[in-house]
Amino acid sequence: MLLAKVTGAVVPAVRDARLTGLRLLAAEALTEPSAAPIVAADTLGAGEGDTVLIATGQAARLALPARDVPVDAAVVAIIDEA
């Protein structure tokens, strides 16, 4: 799990059909500011500037309605205060 801040939306030119209807967000890890941005599937309607909890790996796929979606990161919580 990662604590991150949403920096914007990602709009792919081409996407896997299983990602249709799924919003993708760019986020920066708060615990590792020098790390590369993370692209995460948005399961909750998070917006730019929100602090979120991101699940990665198999846990990310479990957060989605369908289990066969090809994602490695998903927003699983929007944090009010940390």
Task: Write the pLDDT tens digit of every residue in 36-77.
Answer: 999 999 989 999 999 999 999 999 988 888 878 899 999 999
The whole-number pLDDT of residue 32 equals 83
**Is 53:47 a contact under the CB 8 Å cutoff?**
no
pTM for the full predicted model:
0.89
> Would you give the distance in Å from CA 8 to the centre of its chain?
11
